[in-house]
Amino acid sequence: EPEVTQTPSHQVTQMGQEVILRCVPISNHLYFYWYRQILGQKVEFLVSFYNNEISEKSEIFDDQFSVERPDGSNFTLKIRSTKLEDSAMYFCASSEEWTGKTQYFGPGTRLLVL
Amino acid sequence: ELKVEQNPLFLSMQEGKNYTIYCNYSTTSDRLYWYRQDPGKSLESLFVLLSNGAVKQEGRLMASLDTKARLSTLHITAAVHDLSATYFCAVGSNNDMRFGAGTRLTVKP
Protein backbone atom coordinates (compact mmCIF):
# COMPACT_ATOMS: atom_id res chain seq x y z
CA GLU A 1 0.00 0.00 0.00
CA PRO A 2 1.39 3.43 -0.91
CA GLU A 3 2.50 5.54 2.00
CA VAL A 4 3.87 8.96 2.82
CA THR A 5 7.48 8.89 3.96
CA GLN A 6 9.43 11.51 5.89
CA THR A 7 13.12 12.03 6.52
CA PRO A 8 14.85 12.34 8.84
CA SER A 9 12.90 10.66 11.61
CA HIS A 10 14.78 12.75 14.18
CA GLN A 11 16.68 16.01 13.82
CA VAL A 12 18.63 17.87 16.46
CA THR A 13 19.80 21.38 15.66
CA GLN A 14 21.19 24.43 17.36
CA MET A 15 19.05 27.52 17.78
CA GLY A 16 19.51 29.84 14.83
CA GLN A 17 20.34 27.09 12.36
CA GLU A 18 18.30 26.21 9.29
CA VAL A 19 16.67 22.82 8.89
CA ILE A 20 14.98 21.15 5.96
CA LEU A 21 12.42 18.46 6.59
CA ARG A 22 11.66 16.16 3.71
CA CYS A 23 8.53 14.34 2.68
CA VAL A 24 7.69 12.03 -0.19
CA PRO A 25 3.92 12.13 -0.72
CA ILE A 26 1.93 9.35 -2.35
CA SER A 27 2.72 9.51 -6.05
CA ASN A 28 -0.69 10.35 -7.54
CA HIS A 29 -1.64 12.84 -4.85
CA LEU A 30 -1.89 16.49 -5.74
CA TYR A 31 -2.32 18.23 -2.37
CA PHE A 32 0.33 18.38 0.29
CA TYR A 33 0.28 19.57 3.86
CA TRP A 34 2.52 20.23 6.83
CA TYR A 35 1.35 20.07 10.44
CA ARG A 36 3.19 20.12 13.73
CA GLN A 37 2.49 18.82 17.20
CA ILE A 38 4.33 20.05 20.24
CA LEU A 39 5.02 17.40 22.88
CA GLY A 40 1.95 15.29 22.10
CA GLN A 41 -0.35 18.25 22.55
CA LYS A 42 -2.59 20.05 20.13
CA VAL A 43 -1.92 19.63 16.46
CA GLU A 44 -1.29 22.81 14.47
CA PHE A 45 -1.82 23.29 10.75
CA LEU A 46 1.07 25.01 9.00
CA VAL A 47 0.47 25.04 5.27
CA SER A 48 -1.16 23.36 2.29
CA PHE A 49 0.31 23.24 -1.18
CA TYR A 50 -1.07 22.57 -4.62
CA ASN A 51 0.19 23.08 -8.13
CA ASN A 52 3.47 24.49 -6.88
CA GLU A 53 1.77 27.15 -4.83
CA ILE A 54 0.69 27.61 -1.24
CA SER A 55 -3.08 27.13 -0.99
CA GLU A 56 -3.58 27.96 2.65
CA LYS A 57 -1.30 28.87 5.51
CA SER A 58 -1.80 29.50 9.17
CA GLU A 59 -0.54 32.49 11.12
CA ILE A 60 2.24 30.25 12.43
CA PHE A 61 3.62 29.94 8.90
CA ASP A 62 5.50 33.22 8.78
CA ASP A 63 8.62 34.26 6.89
CA GLN A 64 10.65 31.81 8.94
CA PHE A 65 9.03 28.95 7.05
CA SER A 66 8.95 27.98 3.41
CA VAL A 67 7.83 24.99 1.39
CA GLU A 68 8.99 23.67 -1.90
CA ARG A 69 8.45 20.82 -4.28
CA PRO A 70 11.91 20.73 -5.81
CA ASP A 71 11.28 17.72 -8.02
CA GLY A 72 8.46 15.37 -8.88
CA SER A 73 8.56 13.46 -5.64
CA ASN A 74 9.82 15.48 -2.68
CA PHE A 75 7.96 18.09 -0.67
CA THR A 76 10.11 20.03 1.75
CA LEU A 77 9.60 22.31 4.73
CA LYS A 78 12.44 24.72 5.45
CA ILE A 79 12.70 26.41 8.81
CA ARG A 80 15.15 29.30 8.87
CA SER A 81 16.84 30.47 12.03
CA THR A 82 15.23 27.89 14.28
CA LYS A 83 13.95 28.84 17.72
CA LEU A 84 13.56 26.72 20.83
CA GLU A 85 9.78 26.80 20.39
CA ASP A 86 10.09 25.18 16.96
CA SER A 87 10.82 21.90 18.74
CA ALA A 88 7.94 19.64 17.77
CA MET A 89 6.87 16.67 15.73
CA TYR A 90 6.33 17.70 12.13
CA PHE A 91 3.89 15.68 10.06
CA CYS A 92 3.54 15.74 6.31
CA ALA A 93 0.33 14.61 4.62
CA SER A 94 -0.99 14.26 1.10
CA SER A 95 -4.38 13.77 -0.54
CA GLU A 96 -5.78 13.18 -3.99
CA GLU A 97 -8.17 16.08 -3.84
CA TRP A 98 -8.68 19.19 -1.74
CA THR A 99 -11.77 18.26 0.20
CA GLY A 100 -13.79 15.15 0.69
CA LYS A 101 -10.77 12.96 0.31
CA THR A 102 -8.73 11.25 2.96
CA GLN A 103 -5.40 12.71 3.92
CA TYR A 104 -2.56 10.26 4.39
CA PHE A 105 0.04 11.14 6.97
CA GLY A 106 3.71 10.37 7.17
CA PRO A 107 5.31 9.05 10.37
CA GLY A 108 6.67 12.47 11.32
CA THR A 109 10.02 14.11 11.97
CA ARG A 110 10.86 14.90 15.56
CA LEU A 111 12.75 18.21 15.62
CA LEU A 112 14.65 19.27 18.70
CA VAL A 113 16.14 22.76 18.82
CA LEU A 114 18.80 23.28 21.47
CA GLU B 1 -10.73 34.25 15.27
CA LEU B 2 -11.51 30.60 14.70
CA LYS B 3 -11.60 28.62 17.92
CA VAL B 4 -12.30 24.92 18.25
CA GLU B 5 -13.36 23.29 21.49
CA GLN B 6 -13.59 19.59 22.08
CA ASN B 7 -15.15 17.85 25.00
CA PRO B 8 -14.59 15.84 26.93
CA LEU B 9 -10.79 15.99 26.94
CA PHE B 10 -10.58 12.64 28.67
CA LEU B 11 -13.03 9.81 28.34
CA SER B 12 -12.89 6.44 30.00
CA MET B 13 -15.57 4.03 28.98
CA GLN B 14 -16.45 0.39 29.30
CA GLU B 15 -16.43 -1.94 26.34
CA GLY B 16 -19.83 -2.24 24.76
CA LYS B 17 -20.99 1.23 25.79
CA ASN B 18 -21.89 4.18 23.60
CA TYR B 19 -20.57 7.68 23.90
CA THR B 20 -20.27 10.94 22.00
CA ILE B 21 -17.40 13.38 21.59
CA TYR B 22 -18.34 16.97 20.82
CA CYS B 23 -16.56 19.54 18.70
CA ASN B 24 -17.73 23.15 18.79
CA TYR B 25 -16.28 25.90 16.67
CA SER B 26 -16.65 29.66 16.69
CA THR B 27 -16.99 30.83 13.07
CA THR B 28 -18.41 29.56 9.82
CA SER B 29 -16.39 26.79 8.28
CA ASP B 30 -16.11 25.05 4.96
CA ARG B 31 -14.93 21.68 6.19
CA LEU B 32 -14.53 19.65 9.32
CA TYR B 33 -12.20 16.74 9.91
CA TRP B 34 -11.90 13.99 12.48
CA TYR B 35 -8.57 12.30 13.09
CA ARG B 36 -7.29 9.51 15.28
CA GLN B 37 -3.86 9.34 16.87
CA ASP B 38 -2.44 6.35 18.72
CA PRO B 39 0.23 7.05 21.37
CA GLY B 40 3.56 7.90 19.77
CA LYS B 41 2.13 7.53 16.30
CA SER B 42 1.12 9.74 13.42
CA LEU B 43 -2.37 10.95 12.60
CA GLU B 44 -4.96 8.91 10.80
CA SER B 45 -7.72 10.63 8.86
CA LEU B 46 -11.18 9.35 9.83
CA PHE B 47 -13.80 11.62 8.31
CA VAL B 48 -14.21 14.80 6.29
CA LEU B 49 -17.56 16.56 6.60
CA LEU B 50 -18.39 19.29 4.15
CA SER B 51 -22.03 20.25 4.45
CA ASN B 52 -24.76 20.79 7.00
CA GLY B 53 -26.36 17.53 8.01
CA ALA B 54 -23.49 15.44 6.68
CA VAL B 55 -23.18 12.08 8.38
CA LYS B 56 -20.44 9.56 7.80
CA GLN B 57 -19.94 6.17 9.39
CA GLU B 58 -17.06 3.77 9.51
CA GLY B 59 -17.42 0.72 11.70
CA ARG B 60 -18.29 1.76 15.25
CA LEU B 61 -17.64 5.45 14.59
CA MET B 62 -20.14 7.91 13.19
CA ALA B 63 -19.50 11.60 12.60
CA SER B 64 -22.08 14.30 11.96
CA LEU B 65 -22.03 18.00 11.25
CA ASP B 66 -24.49 20.76 12.14
CA THR B 67 -23.15 23.94 10.60
CA LYS B 68 -25.94 26.07 12.03
CA ALA B 69 -25.03 25.04 15.57
CA ARG B 70 -21.32 24.98 14.65
CA LEU B 71 -21.12 21.53 16.14
CA SER B 72 -19.79 18.19 15.05
CA THR B 73 -20.14 14.96 16.97
CA LEU B 74 -18.22 11.71 16.87
CA HIS B 75 -20.39 8.93 18.16
CA ILE B 76 -18.90 5.68 19.36
CA THR B 77 -21.13 2.63 19.32
CA ALA B 78 -20.43 -0.47 21.39
CA ALA B 79 -16.87 0.55 22.14
CA VAL B 80 -14.04 -1.96 21.91
CA HIS B 81 -10.53 -1.72 23.30
CA ASP B 82 -9.04 -1.09 19.84
CA LEU B 83 -10.77 2.29 19.77
CA SER B 84 -8.55 3.56 22.58
CA ALA B 85 -6.70 6.56 21.11
CA THR B 86 -6.78 10.34 21.00
CA TYR B 87 -9.38 11.82 18.66
CA PHE B 88 -8.99 15.28 17.19
CA CYS B 89 -11.46 17.39 15.31
CA ALA B 90 -10.20 20.15 13.02
CA VAL B 91 -12.07 22.95 11.32
CA GLY B 92 -11.13 24.65 8.07
CA SER B 93 -12.17 28.25 7.57
CA ASN B 94 -10.87 31.25 5.63
CA ASN B 95 -7.66 29.67 4.47
CA ASP B 96 -6.81 28.45 7.93
CA MET B 97 -7.38 25.30 9.88
CA ARG B 98 -7.58 24.84 13.63
CA PHE B 99 -7.52 21.69 15.71
CA GLY B 100 -9.33 20.90 18.89
CA ALA B 101 -7.30 19.89 21.93
CA GLY B 102 -8.13 16.24 21.41
CA THR B 103 -10.14 13.69 23.37
CA ARG B 104 -8.13 10.91 24.94
CA LEU B 105 -10.35 7.86 24.87
CA THR B 106 -9.66 4.79 26.97
CA VAL B 107 -11.89 1.77 26.53
CA LYS B 108 -11.73 -0.65 29.42
CA PRO B 109 -12.76 -4.31 29.35
pLDDT tens per residue, range B39-93: 999 999 999 998 888 999 999 999 999 999 999 999 999 999 999 999 999 998 8
Residue A92: C-alpha distances to residues A87, A95, B3 (Å): 16, 11, 23
Q: Kindly state whether A51 is in contact with chain B, defined as any CB-CB distance less than 8 angstroms.
A: no
Would you call A114 exposed, middle or buried from its count of C-beta atoms within 10 A (0-12, 13-18, 19+)? exposed
Q: Name the residue among A56, A54, A57, A47 with its Cα closest to residue A92.
A: A47
Handedness of CA A4, A7, A13, A19 (dihedral sign): negative
Segment A11-36, tens digit of pLDDT: 999 999 999 999 999 998 999 999 99
Closest residue to B99, CB basis, from A44, A56, A57: A44
* Interface size between A and B, measured as CB pairs under 8 A: 54
Q: A70 pLDDT exceeds 90?
A: no
**Closest chain B CA to residue A103:** B45
3-class secondary structure for A29-63?
CCEEEEEEECCCCCEEEEEEEECCEEEEECCCCCC
Segment B26-45, tens digit of pLDDT: 998 888 999 999 999 999 99
Beta-ladder partners of A53: A50
